[in-house]
Structures are given as C-alpha cells and as structure tokens.
Structure 1
Amino acid sequence: MADQSVAAPPFFADGGPALYTWMRNARDNTPVMFDEPSQSWKIYRYEDVHRVLSDWEVFSNDMCRVIPEHGFTRGNLSTMDPPEHKQLRGVVAQGFTPRTLAQLTPKIEELVKELLDAVEDRDEIDIARDLSYQLPLNVISTLIGVPREDRGVLQRTADAQLALTCENPTNGDFVVQVQKAMEELQAYIKELSAERRANPQDDVISKLATATVQDRSLDEEEVVNFTVLLLLAGHLTTMSLLGNMMLTLSEHPDQLAEVRANRDLVPDAIEEVLRYRTPVPEGGRVTNRDVELGGTVIPANKMVLCSLISANRDERKYPNPDKFDIRRDPNPQLAFTTGIHYCLGAHLARLEAGIALNTILDRYAEFTLTGLEWYPTYALCNLKRLTFDVRRT
C-alpha cells in the first residue's frame, strides 16, 4: 500500500482560510488518504463522508478495536453499534423529546438573561467566556441532573479536554491524558448515579440509573460513561456553535442586519453557521471489512476519520461553499453527522443558539468584534476568547 500521507493541515490561527484552502486541495487530490501521524484514513469529500457516516454495517462505531483501552468504552453510546446502540439511545432520548425541550425553554431564556445581566456594566464583553462557555454547561447539567453547586467538576473536566492538543486518537499517551482529564468527573457521576438509583428524579441520569436494556439494568460503569459523554458533548459542542455563530455573524454585517430585521431567519442562520464553521472537525468510524471508497481500498479494522469541516465546504455539494449565506437552500450540512448516530442533542443545541442569538439582538443595538483566540485543540473548533464592544438598545 502506497503512503498517501501529506503535510498536516493548518490550524485556525488565521480564522480558517489556510485550513479551508488546504482541504480544498485534499478534496481535489487526496480525497481518501492514509494519515501517518494519526494512523487513520482521512476522508474529505461530502459524498464519501456521508456514506461512511450512514453505513454502520461497514463502518462501525465500535472504535475499541483500534483505540487503546481507557476505561471509557462500556456504556459509551459513541462506541456502540446496533442493537445495543438503539436500545440505549432509546432510553436517553426520553430526556431530549420536544416536550422536554419545550419545558426547558424558559430555563434557557432565564440563563441567557442572567449571564448577560452579569456583564451589564461593561462596554466590552467576552462572549466566549461570559456566554458560550457558561450557557451549555448549565443547560446540559440541568437536563442530566447535576446540581448547580456541583458544576465545578464538569467545568474542570471541560477545561482539561479543551487543553488536549494531540491529534492522534490511537496514541497511548493521548488516551492516558483523556482518562486523567475525566477521572474526577467519573468519580462524581458514580456517586450521583448511585444516589439516583436509590432515589430517582425527573432527570436523564435517573432514567439511565433505573433503565433496563436487553432485560438487564445498566451497571455502574455504563451509567457513568454514558452520562460523562452526554455532559461533555452537550457542553463543548454547543459552546463551539455559540461562539462560531457570533463570530461569523459579526464578520457578515449585512446578513446580521437581515437576521436582526427578520427573526424568522434565525434558524437558517444557525444552519449556515453549522456548515460554514463546523463545531466538531471529524467523525470517527472503524472498517468492518476491506472497503473501496473514492477509488481507494481501505483495509478492515482501520480507523476512518471523516472531515466534517471539509464535507461541509465541498464544492461538489454546495455552490460557492466558502460564501456564508443564511439563505442557502438546500443546506444538508453534516455538523451533527447523519444516520443512526445523528447527534442526540442537535435540537437542544439549535434551541440554545436560537434563544441566545435572539436575546443578544434584543439587548444590543450594535456589537463590534475586538479580539479572538482559538483553543489549540484538534477535537473541537472552539473559541477561547471572543470580545465585542457593545452598544445597548
């Protein structure tokens, strides 16, 4: 097998243009390639990415075969295939129903107002620190059932995750870093799940702690791992969406003005942000057998990393893909992936983003970008700092 590896892609230091140029070249010349540093096959075109994410029988979600054991696999929905995946997803999906989200809406509105009230006396605000980080942390904690006074443990784990810079998920040292970052949160969730098993409440962790899957109860490790996954995914990915949304709209003042004048455009603007600045760079799978993709044969039992960023910028799928266009239609973006592993919290993320954007537009007549800084992590496209000068309505 020929070595098809090429130089690593640039990061977001320039806001993305160098990365997007690199990925256009990859789509044109090496759309399916073996990447030596990560020991994985990288996929860059929309149709190939869509196929990998859709075909779970060929492209498995069970990555335990290629990632060293790290104590975070059992009960982790992101490493499961059917039938276990469907059954466990069905249990937790009860916490993400339209009825549950409707009941959560006033709480989200209250949280956004509370967070912005806390910086009411400032002419410059940091959206990344003061809103994007805090809002989803508190929303997902409420949904899961983590009391407000205990949320510091999630914050410390999230900070440790955001500090991870290694881009090779099969690297043993990286796995150790991940495990160390999560140990405190796992220990806390272990205690909380035992409490909920004995005294269930109306929250997701209680549903997991008392659930029956395949005629058996979930054990402690499964409940802990699944809850940790939900907490981190529900916090960090939505954090990314919120920051990216405010940055992108500020860069396109004409379209921001359209959204301000017509709030019916808010959902379309959010969808275009998800395409234009995708929160999660890659989605991983493992081949169950040798498979041909894009004219290249990928052997069995190999990690496949689909570039969601590149797929969402593929000129074969989208006219003028590097243009931000809130009226883009259709917009079948893959930010939340697709198929049976479609992001469970996608509707919640959209809800939070919509409430946050509407509240900001109501409160501020103008906001002018003054500075930004990206987290140096390959796992998420997240802003560490995003400051604006603001003028109130």
Structure 2
Amino acid sequence: MVDPPNAAPPFFADGGPALYAWMRNARDNTPVMFDEASQTWKVYRYEDAHRVLSDWQVFSNDMCRIMPEHGFTRGNLSTMDPPEHKQLRGVIAQGFTPRALADLAPRIERIVGELLDAVEDRTEIDITRDLSYQLPLNVIAEVIGVPRGDRGVLYRTADAQLALTCENPADPDFVGGVQKAMGELQSYLGQELVPARRRDPQDDLVSKLATASLDDRSLDDEEVVNFTVLLLLAGHLTTMSLLGNMMLTLSEHPGQLAELRADRSLVPGAVEEVLRYRPPVPEGGRVTNVEVELAGATIPADRLVLVSLISANRDEREFPDPDRFDIHRPANPQLAFTTGIHYCLGAHLARLEAKIALNAVLDRYTDLTFTGMQWYESYSLCNPKRLTFEVRRP
C-alpha cells in the first residue's frame, strides 16, 4: 500500500522502490505540494519541473535571499541570474568546449587506468572507493588546476560534504555544516592557489577566472574562490553518483550489460538512461520571484521550490514504462542535469568520464558479480557509499 501523498516520502535506503511508488502517487494526486517539514514547495511532474527549471524570470536561481547567510554567494554561478550569470558562465565555458574535452579524454583514460591498476591484485573491488569517488575528483582538479600534491584538501572537503545529511537546505544548522566543510578548501584556494595563478597564469580554469574581465572589472579573490569551490564540489560529487549508479544499474540488468560488452556504440545511450533511471542529484531548487500558479497550486513570491528530478524522470506522462531500464530508449529528454540557462556546465564532462570508465571496466573485467552495497544517507545525493563486485579478468 502506498502512503498518502501528504505523508513524508520514504528515504532512498532501499535503492528506490518505496520512494518511486510514493512519487507516482504524488504525481497523480498532489503534483505540486507544500511540505510543512521543510517549508518548501515540492514539484513532482515532468511538465511542471521543466517549467520551473526553464523559466528563470519567474523561478530564480538566487536562493540566497531566502536562505541563511552562508558566505558562499559572490561568484557562485549556481545562485546567479542574468545578466551576471551569462557573463561568468561564458568565462568558464571555455574549459568545457568540445575541443577542451577532446584534449582531456586521454588524461581521463590515464587516471582510470591508474585507479584500476591500483586494485589489480584484488578479486573483489569497491566501485565507489576504488573508482567513482577518486576519478571525478582528480579530473576536475586537473581541469581547475589543483596540483596533485595539494589534493588532500579536496578529499577532506568531499568527505565532510558527504557526511552531511539534511532534508531542508535552508536549515541554519545544515548551512553552518556546509560552510564548515568548505572552510579549509576556501582558505587553500584564497591564500595559495588563486594568488599563485594571478602571479603566473597557467592553462587551467582558476587562471581563466583570475584573469577574466567582466564589465571592465576583474573578479576579486572571493568571487574566484567561490566559483572554484562550486566547480570542485559539483564536478566531483555529481559524477561520482553517476558512475556508482551506472555500475549498480547495469549489474541489475545483466542482459543489457552483455549487449554493451558486444556493442560499445550503445554506451552513450546507456549513460543517458542511467541519468534518467537514477539521477545523481535528487532535487533542483529555485525561488519564486512573483506569485505563480503551477498545476492548480498557488505559490507565493519568495518561496523555495524544490523540483524532484527523480520523480520528473519517472513521469509516465513523458516516459513510456518509466520504471523499466532500457538502454535502447529512443527519446530521453531526462532532467538529471536540469535544463534551461542553468543546465549543468559540466554535463558533457560527466558523460565523458562515464563513457571512458565504463569502457575501461568492460575491457579489464570479463565478469562482475555483485556482492554488496550501502547507500549514502543523504538528501542531496542518490548513490552508493559502498558498491562491491567480485571481478574476473581475462
């Protein structure tokens, strides 16, 4: 029996089935609802989610005005609207062009190879620990320009971020925890890396930010640091979730995994279907600029709206047979990376890492037998904390 739609949704600890059933009920009965516990409006249908994520004039990305002060505002692209958003995004987009990603591909392949070499003597590997946690952190560190010897601070910040759990992103204790987790990273960037790149620019994104000009002014250190923190966290945690979810989901569908082994041209479609089936981030947040009606509900101005990316990606109104995983799905306008002007800047990099990692795993192991897993107890990520496989090599 499905809980009534006004009850709290179940946690993701079972991998999703209870939550998916709850969300189907919500889509049918309360597609837009006010959640008393978090004091936020929740959106569950694809059509409404697409509107919220696309219409920045009504649904603003500037959530700072209704959330507690967290010292992570200036230079944070994820809290900006046009025209500032367009200007700063244009600077960063230089690091994510097709040419830049093509140049990065051999480096990603090298990192994947090094990580798998490190566990070559094991008959059981933990995909999360041995691959999906480390790969995107090292890739985004190379894109940004963090030297290998300095990456310990990135690991400590990521570990602290992953330890945070909260249902309400506006909760002062949660905001304080986030700020504490980022403190060491901000200090390293502001006191060491950014000043070094101002003195001696390199071919990396921190150098591009440190030397950029917006409206005939340079970005100050706080702006450069905050945007770099955003890139590091988003570039690491989101892709980590994608990689873990990809390996878990394919292990649950051995027939389709066998198809991928036989025909690698199916890999891109498989990555897209994983993004739909198990999006790495559960929700996307916006703030209403004006009172607005959505699916029959009236949302006042200056209210936090949380779009369920999980629910939107399983909306039967948009996706036929949405609970079926299908790497051959012909049309897949999934919202895992949201949409509109705030579409994830690193989406193509995440896809590239997933494709390279999957091909490398299939090349190296002739068989992967699932042996166990544990989910992160987090409301901000949907991915395994531990995901183990017994592996067989040629």
Q: Which band: TM-score by shorter chain?
A: over 0.9
Q: TM-score, normalised by structure 2?
A: 0.98
Aligned counterpart, 1:392 = 393
Match of 2:260 in 1: 259
For 1:363 and 1:183, the matched residues in 2 are separated by 39
Contact 1:5–1:34 (CA<8 Å) still a contact in 2? no
Residue 337 of structure 2 contacts residue 344 of structure 2 at CA under 8 Å; is this kept in 1? yes
Counterpart residue type for residue 119 of structure 1: V
What's the secondary structure of 1:18's corresponding residue?
A: helix
Q: Which residue of 1 aligns with 2:354?
A: 353
Q: Partners in 1 of 2:167 and 2:226 — Cα distance? A: 22
Match of 2:14 in 1: 14
Q: Pairwise mapping of residues 258-297 of structure 1 onto structure 2 (< 5 A)?
A: 258-297=259-298
CA distance in 1, matches of 2:188, 2:25: 46
Sequence identity percentage: 78
CA offset at residue 15 of structure 1? 1.3
Following superposition, which runs of at least 4 residues in structure 1 exceed 4 angstroms of deviation?
A: none
Partner-residue secondary structure (3-state), 2:370: strand
Structure 2 equivalent of residue 25 of structure 1: 25
In the alignment, structure 2 segments of 5+ residues that lack a partner are none
Q: What is the 5 A alignment of 1:118-137?
A: 118-137=118-137
Per-residue CA distance 1:182-236 (angstroms, 9 max, x = gap): 0000001112111101111000000001111111111111100000000000000
> Which position in structure 2 is the counterpart of 1:159?
159
Report the alpha carbon displacement of residue 287 of structure 1 after superposing the two structures with TM: 0.3
Q: Aligned letter for 2:212? A: A
Residue deviations 1:80-117 (CA, integer Å, cap 9, x gap): 00000000000011011111111111110011111001
Q: Which position in structure 2 is the counterpart of 1:176?
A: 176
Q: One-letter code of the match for 2:93? A: A
SS at match of 1:309: helix
Residue identity matched to 1:129: R
Q: Measure, in 2, the Cα distance between the counterparts of 1:171 and 1:13.
A: 22
Paired residues for 1:190-269 under 5 Å: 190=190, 191-269=192-270
Do the aligned residues in 2 keep the contact of 1:5 with 1:36 (CA within 8 Å)? no
Cα distance, 1:6 vs. partner?
A: 2.4
| 1:136/1:235 contact within 8 Å kept | yes
What CA distance in whole angstroms lies between the structure 1 residues aligned with 2:308 and 2:12?
Answer: 15
Aligned 8 A contact 2:77 2:88 in 1: yes
Matched, 1:150 2:166: no
- Corresponding residue for 1:335? 336
Q: Which residue of 1 aligns with 2:107?
A: 107
Distance 1:7 1:154 in 2: 38
Distance 1:168 1:214 in 2: 36
Task: Report what 1:55 is aligned to.
Answer: 55
- Alpha-carbon shift at residue 65 of structure 1 (Å): 1.3
Whether the aligned pair in 2 keeps the contact of 1:5 and 1:35 (CA below 8 Å) is no
Aligned pairs for 1:35-50 within 5 A: 35-50=35-50
Contact 2:337 2:347 in 1 (8 A): yes
Query: Where does residue 75 of structure 2 map in the other structure?
Result: 75
Other structure's SS at 2:307 match: strand
Aligned AA (1:157)? T
1:5 CA drift (Å): 8.1
Residue type at the aligned position of 1:273:
V
Q: Distance in 2 between matches of 1:187 and 1:380?
A: 25
User: Residue 259 of structure 1: CA displacement?
Assistant: 0.8
In 1, Cα distance between equivalents of 2:251 and 2:173: 39
Q: 1:37 deviation in Å?
A: 1.7
User: Is contact 2:5-2:25 (8 Å) kept?
Assistant: no
Measure, in 1, the Cα distance between the counterparts of 2:261 and 2:102. 24
**Cα RMSD after superposing both structures:** 0.9
In structure 2, what is the Cα distance between the partners aligned to 1:362 and 1:144? 29
**Counterpart of 1:261 in structure 2: which amino acid?**
A
Work out the CA distance in 1 between the residues paired with 2:283 and 2:215. 31
Unaligned runs of 5+ in 1: none
Deviation at residue 7 of structure 1 after TM alignment? 2.2
* 1:359-374 equivalences in 2 (<5 Å): 359-374=360-375
Deviations 1:56-95 (A, max 9, x none): 0000000011111110011000000000000000001101
What is the number of residues matched between the two proteins?
Answer: 390
The superposition leaves residues 316-348 of structure 1 with CA deviations (integer Å, 9 ceiling, x where unpaired) of 111100000000010000000000000000000
The secondary structure found in structure 2 opposite 1:13 is helix
State the distance in 2 between where 1:75 and 1:212 align. 13
For the pair 1:91 / 2:91, whether they are aligned, the reply is: yes
Provide the C-alpha distance between the structure 2 equivalents of 1:193 and 1:342, rounded to a whole number of angstroms. Answer: 26
Taking structure 1 as the reference length, the TM-score comes to 0.98
